[in-house]
Homo-oligomer: A and B are copies of this chain.
Amino acid sequence: MTINIALLGFGTVASGVPFLLKENTEKIQQAAQENIQVAKVLVKDQAEKERLLAAGHDYHFVTNIDDILSDDTIQIVVELMGRIEPAKTFISRALEAGKHVVTANKDLLAVHGSELRELAVNNGVALYYEAAVAGGIPILRTLANSLTSDKVTRVLGVLNGTSNFMMTKMVDEGWTYDEALKTAQELGYAESDPTNDVEGIDAAYKAVILSQFAFGMTIDFEQVAHKGISGITPEDVAVAQELGYVIKLVGDIQETTSGIAAEVSPTFLPKSHPLASVNGVMNAVFVESIGIGESMYYGPGAGQKPTATSVVADIVRIVRRLNDKTVGKAFNEYSRPLQLAKPEDVVSEYYFSILAPDKTGTLLRLAEIFNSESISFKQILQAASLGDQARVVIVTHAMSKTQLENVQAKLAAAEAVEVQNTFKVLGD
């Protein structure tokens, strides 16, 4: 039998789907136990259709979603347009029309995932999105299928290839943020408006989805604190290296006694930590759990073929479940009521880079401020004298988010003291 699928969109990733179906036919047929065929492809308008046909793409291109939704021979709809609309409407209508949906749309799933998942369940169809987190890394299915027996306590992820490429250049080559951004844009890794990538928004979308699979909790996008890499200076990078750390943009979801906490922030990773050597556009998800202990899943976070590999794996799974008559089960079945951690339970070491008067008593004054919040120092270093100012770098012992906020408020109020940067530090 042949299973007909339709692609919504025919950009880079979408064109990787027929590539894999062709290059790997034998194995995919053996796994799916059916032939899988791209029956229709939705494109934006007549002009795009003609351009693609002229370029030699031999597909049945349509410009109206109804040509797909009303086609009873199409069982699976693959959405690869990205962004919220019209993707959300198209996916909703496909689910309502009884079609199974595969998508790589992390923005949409992070913001409207609950609604779409409910729609899928109500219509007895599948909604799979392995490619939405860390592109080619099969992390969602691994969490859903293999870590069912394990209890995850923390997930740390290098989840955005663009910012990781930039951080790698800033660390290895000493580039400034602006130099790294310029090159990332030239290479096509960063968009002209790079906000989503460099400010941690894209990684926060992925953290929302990871929270569901790793902890069974649906956290709102707004509940994921995010801070980007644009404020990181060459001095921060240099001091990090001196102290034995590598700075990366890290998504961090952990379960404390009171609930889960999720955030994306530049993080000092000990050089020996497996995430510290994840370089360039590569992604990795590091999982701490009571059973396995520590495991890491590493691979390309984006790109045509890696993303298409995850998409086709989802398609194959749906076809198998169609054959087994078990289709319609949720992609992730682990579900618990959301409980957010209290700030006093979320604990970490922190790095402070502080400008203060270069005179006797300054260090004492800083020590008193931290001490008043019961925060002790792990490492301290007077980095450089800048005229009558000195840059003081402090790495603290573990403190809670509450302590962090309090000490930040006191430092902000202190006369002639300027906090340049505060970053999370992962303990050894």
Instruction: Tell me the A residues contacting B by CB distance below 8 Å.
Output: 20, 23-24, 26-28, 30-32, 130, 136-138, 141-142, 145-151, 216, 272, 274, 277, 279, 282, 289-300, 303, 305-306, 308-313, 315-317, 324, 326, 333-336
Please pick, from B272, B290, B312, B336, the residue contacting A149 in the complex, using a CB distance under 8 A. B312
Closest chain B residue to A130, Cβ basis = B146
* Contact assessment for B326 and A145 in the assembled complex, using a CB-CB cutoff below 8 Å: no
| Of A300, A309, A336, most B-chain CB atoms within 10 Å | A309
Given contacts A147-B313, A298-B298, contact A136 B292 (CB under 8 A): yes
Given contacts A20-B291, A274-B298, A290-B305, contact A28 B148 (CB under 8 A): yes
19 A–B contacts, CB within 8 A, in A order: A24-B149, A24-B291, A28-B149, A137-B295, A138-B147, A138-B295, A146-B310, A147-B309, A149-B310, A149-B316, A277-B277, A291-B305, A291-B308, A293-B299, A293-B303, A296-B298, A298-B298, A324-B326, A326-B326
Please pick, from B136, B272, B274, B324, the residue contacting A324 in the complex, using a CB distance under 8 A. B324
* Contact assessment for B305 and A294 in the assembled complex, using a CB-CB cutoff below 8 Å: no
* Contact assessment for B299 and A294 in the assembled complex, using a CB-CB cutoff below 8 Å: yes
* Contact assessment for A149 and B292 in the assembled complex, using a CB-CB cutoff below 8 Å: no
Q: Which residues of B contact A336 (CB under 8 A)?
A: 26
Q: Which residues of B contact A297 (CB under 8 A)?
A: 295-298
* Contact assessment for B148 and A27 in the assembled complex, using a CB-CB cutoff below 8 Å: yes
* Contact assessment for B31 and A290 in the assembled complex, using a CB-CB cutoff below 8 Å: no
Copy number of this protein in the oligomer?
2
Given contacts A149-B310, A326-B326, 17 further A-B contacts (CB under 8 A): A20-B291, A27-B334, A30-B333, A30-B335, A31-B148, A32-B148, A136-B295, A137-B292, A138-B142, A141-B146, A274-B277, A291-B305, A291-B306, A291-B308, A292-B306, A296-B296, A324-B324
The CA-CA distance from A31 to B28 in the complex, in Å, is 27
Shortest CB-to-CB span from A132 to chain B, Å, is 14
* Contact assessment for B277 and A313 in the assembled complex, using a CB-CB cutoff below 8 Å: no
* Contact assessment for A148 and B313 in the assembled complex, using a CB-CB cutoff below 8 Å: yes
Closest chain B residue to A16, Cβ basis = B291
Please pick, from B24, B26, B151, B305, the residue contacting A24 in the complex, using a CB distance under 8 A. B151
The CA-CA distance from A142 to B295 in the complex, in Å, is 14
Q: Which residues of B contact A316 (CB under 8 A)?
A: 148-149
Given contacts A142-B138, A142-B142, A297-B297, contact A291 B309 (CB under 8 A): yes
Q: Which residues of B contact A317 (CB under 8 A)?
A: 145, 148
* Contact assessment for A146 and B138 in the assembled complex, using a CB-CB cutoff below 8 Å: yes
Please pick, from B24, B26, B148, the residue contacting A150 in the complex, using a CB distance under 8 A. B24
The CA-CA distance from A108 to B351 in the complex, in Å, is 51
Closest chain B residue to A335, Cβ basis = B30
* Contact assessment for B20 and A150 in the assembled complex, using a CB-CB cutoff below 8 Å: yes
Closest chain B residue to A298, Cβ basis = B296
The CA-CA distance from A289 to B274 in the complex, in Å, is 22
Q: Which residues of B contact A310 (CB under 8 A)?
A: 146, 149
* Contact assessment for B334 and A30 in the assembled complex, using a CB-CB cutoff below 8 Å: yes
Q: Which residues of B contact A151 (CB under 8 A)?
A: 23-24, 27
Q: Which residues of B contact A145 (CB under 8 A)?
A: 138, 141, 145, 313, 317
Closest chain B residue to A291, Cβ basis = B309
The CA-CA distance from A333 to B303 in the complex, in Å, is 28
Shortest CB-to-CB span from A327 to chain B, Å, is 11
| Of A130, A136, A138, A336, most B-chain CB atoms within 10 Å | A138
